[in-house]
Structure 1
Amino acid sequence: MEKEAISQKQAIIIMSTFIIGSSAILGSGTKAKQDIWIATIIAMVMASLIYIVYGRISSLFPGKNIYEIMDVLFGKVLSKIFLLSFIFYAFSLGALVIRNFSEFVRIVSLPETPLCIFAFSAVIINIWAVRGGIELLGRFLSIFFPVYIIMIISVTLLSISLFNFDNLKPVLYDGINPVLSASFSIFTFPFAEVVLFLCLLGNLRKNSSVYKVYYRSLLIAGTLLL
């Protein structure tokens, strides 16, 4: 069976969408208050360092995903122990995302509808996407993501008259500690979560750069979150 492959551009779009994800709804690092933009920039710098590690792992084993890499490094038995932890993390994160989006839709649109209806619908959509494969997801997001960007830019431009940059002052009013604490929160959610992409970057087409995927995704998603 031929292995599915995605282009570098598709991988960047998928990762950018993943990073933005539920953080666009829930937010992260609110402890920093008006200094959250500083915390986000610090978190992006922290993420750029850990992405070196992620990129190095993928580049040392081109064409292999994390499961195959674990087998090579630790053998069949020990690798399964690590992979179970990795899979548990992936499922836990997926469950949290489904819960967050389900609650958001219910609160905003249909407050009388049971939460399980939204969650079940989200699960069905995810199963359909997984069955379609990574190529289908890449093609779909290649169409959807530019529309999403246009929507964000349009909303921003239309509301620019409401901006009040005085709300960003005073800078570091509560000191640096809340900003550092918030930056770590933003680093862990959502930036560090792309460790899951070690499962997918083995599907990159030849001559694609995993480093470009990580860093361009960080730049795009980080800018949108700012």
Structure 2
Amino acid sequence: MIEKGRISYLELALIMYATVVATAILYIPYVTSQHAKRDLWLSPIWGSLSGFLIVMIIVKLSKLYPGKTLIEYGELILGRTLGKIISFIYLFFLLHDTAIAFREYGEFIESAFLHKTPIIFVTGSIALSCAIAVHGGIETIGRCATIFLPIVLALYILIYVFLIPDLNVKNIFPIMQDGIMPSIKGSIAPHAWLSQFSLMSFLIPFLTNQQKVMKWGMFSVIASVLTMVFINLGNLLLFGGIISNLYFPVFEAARFISVGSFFEHIESMVIAFWVLGGFVQLSSFFYMLTLGTSQWLTLPSYKQFVLPIGFLIIIFSVWSIPSFEEMIQGMGTTMPFYFLTVQLLIPVLLLGVAVIRRKRSNSFLP
């Protein structure tokens, strides 16, 4: 096996939580509010359906092909040629998805803090840090998730705790004034983010125990959805209708904090702690892409590919997204359908063919 490291259930849940939530808490409120308006807090609940469905599919496939990732059992299910083609499509998507995640990170850091720094230097610096973690293996990323994410989560809860005097419950009303459809339309982006739970297939083979993977996968989905609901609701109660005009409402919320005359202007602290969560997310994407590419090429180790793939990610992050405005627009239009097409349909295809082949092989047994 290429990877010798092992992770626990908790580390798997935290890695997947970071993979989904780290950038979702920044971009989801703005993108969702374009369609859902005041009902944006409901949209992640509808989006959770994709997360739950994909976790069930991936766990079922992992039980049919224990110790294998999606790249490996794709060939076993579809045959060598077709399996290689499907796996390549998924890996190319993963490269694009990873590049988008790095670009999202870079755009936020540049917009909020490093205004005059070229974005390639921002993404390049985090890519180098992530490369060190990826070279260390899945255990390194799992330990980072265990240490960093509780700190990041506590920080975001405290932001809205400090803002309780400024929250206006009236901003949530009237609920579903225009019916349920606006919140369903707003769930397009949460559907896309939660479809990334297909990446669990790269982590399940390295669990120390495979018995409770479904439970912890579902727990991670629930935690991700609750975080999105909490962030969307907090922003709505604070900003009301103007939330649809704010690209980074969580960052803007931090600017509102003022406790006495000594605890204020903590947005720099928010960025510093958010980078920890972003580091886990980007390292996870980076690792899965490197591991999957090595498995597709049937190489004995993935470590020699870390730097070349890191360089490719940075190039794609600049090349594939012309501007910040186009990236934001894509999040609410074409990107969700692109994500769901690859991350939902490919696992569904693999599971369907695998089940049919199992039934046919059993029917021929005496």
TM bin (shorter chain):
over 0.9
**Equivalent pair of 1:22/1:97 in contact (CA under 8 Å):** yes
Correspondence list, 1:57-206, <5 A: 57-188=61-192, 190-206=193-209
Please report how far the alpha carbon of residue 143 of structure 1 lies from its aligned counterpart in structure 2 after TM superposition: 0.7
Matched, 1:14 2:15: yes
Q: Which runs of 5+ in 1 are unaligned?
A: none
Q: How far apart in 2 are the matches of 1:182 and 1:6?
A: 35
Please report how far the alpha carbon of residue 107 of structure 1 lies from its aligned counterpart in structure 2 after TM superposition: 1.0
Q: 3-state DSSP class of the match of 1:12? A: helix
Q: How far apart in 2 are the matches of 1:129 and 1:117?
A: 19
**Equivalent pair of 1:63/1:204 in contact (CA under 8 Å):** no
Please report how far the alpha carbon of residue 116 of structure 1 lies from its aligned counterpart in structure 2 after TM superposition: 1.1
* Larger Cα-atom Rg: 2
Give 1:95's aligned amino acid.
A
Q: 3-state DSSP class of the match of 1:22? A: helix
Q: How far apart in 2 are the matches of 1:195 and 1:178?
A: 27
Determine what percentage of the aligned residue pairs are the same residue.
Answer: 27
Q: 3-state DSSP class of the match of 1:29? A: helix
Correspondence for 1:56 among 53, 60, 78? 60
Q: How far apart in 1 are the matches of 2:60 and 2:212?
A: 11
Deviates more, 1:53-62 or 1:76-85: 53-62
Question: Root-mean-square deviation (CA), in Å?
Answer: 1.6
Give 2:20's aligned amino acid.
I
**Equivalent pair of 1:35/1:168 in contact (CA under 8 Å):** yes
Give 1:19's aligned amino acid.
V
Please report how far the alpha carbon of residue 158 of structure 1 lies from its aligned counterpart in structure 2 after TM superposition: 1.2
Matched, 1:212 2:215: yes
Please report how far the alpha carbon of residue 198 of structure 1 lies from its aligned counterpart in structure 2 after TM superposition: 1.2
Q: How far apart in 1 are the matches of 2:32 and 2:182?
A: 9
**Equivalent pair of 2:54/2:198 in contact (CA under 8 Å):** no
Give 2:117's aligned amino acid.
T
Please report how far the alpha carbon of residue 49 of structure 1 lies from its aligned counterpart in structure 2 after TM superposition: 2.8
Question: How many residues in Structure 1 have an aligned counterpart in Structure 2?
Answer: 225
Please report how far the alpha carbon of residue 46 of structure 1 lies from its aligned counterpart in structure 2 after TM superposition: 4.1
Please report how far the alpha carbon of residue 117 of structure 1 lies from its aligned counterpart in structure 2 after TM superposition: 0.7
**Equivalent pair of 1:58/1:64 in contact (CA under 8 Å):** yes
**Equivalent pair of 1:8/1:208 in contact (CA under 8 Å):** no
**Equivalent pair of 2:54/2:197 in contact (CA under 8 Å):** no
Correspondence for 1:221 among 221, 224, 231? 224
Deviates more, 1:111-120 or 1:43-52: 43-52
Q: Rate the CA distance shift 1:130–1:208 in 2: closer, same or farther, 3 A.
A: farther
Please report how far the alpha carbon of residue 174 of structure 1 lies from its aligned counterpart in structure 2 after TM superposition: 2.6
Deviations 1:98-152 (A, max 9, x none): 1111011011111111111101112212222211111100011111111112212
Deviations 1:148-207 (A, max 9, x none): 12212222211112111111111112332221111233112x101121221221111124
**Equivalent pair of 1:44/1:191 in contact (CA under 8 Å):** yes
Deviations 1:1-41 (A, max 9, x none): 67221111110110111110211111142210110111111
Residue 242 of structure 2 corresponds to which residue in structure 1? none
Q: How far apart in 2 are the matches of 1:47 and 1:149?
A: 20
Deviates more, 1:65-74 or 1:83-92: 65-74
TM-score by length of 1: 0.93
Q: Which runs of 5+ in 2 are unaligned?
A: 230-366
Deviates more, 1:49-58 or 1:141-150: 49-58
Q: How far apart in 2 are the matches of 1:129 and 1:87?
A: 20
Give 1:212's aligned amino acid.
K
Deviates more, 1:174-183 or 1:81-90: 174-183
Deviations 1:201-224 (A, max 9, x none): 111112442212321101111111
Please report how far the alpha carbon of residue 54 of structure 1 lies from its aligned counterpart in structure 2 after TM superposition: 2.0
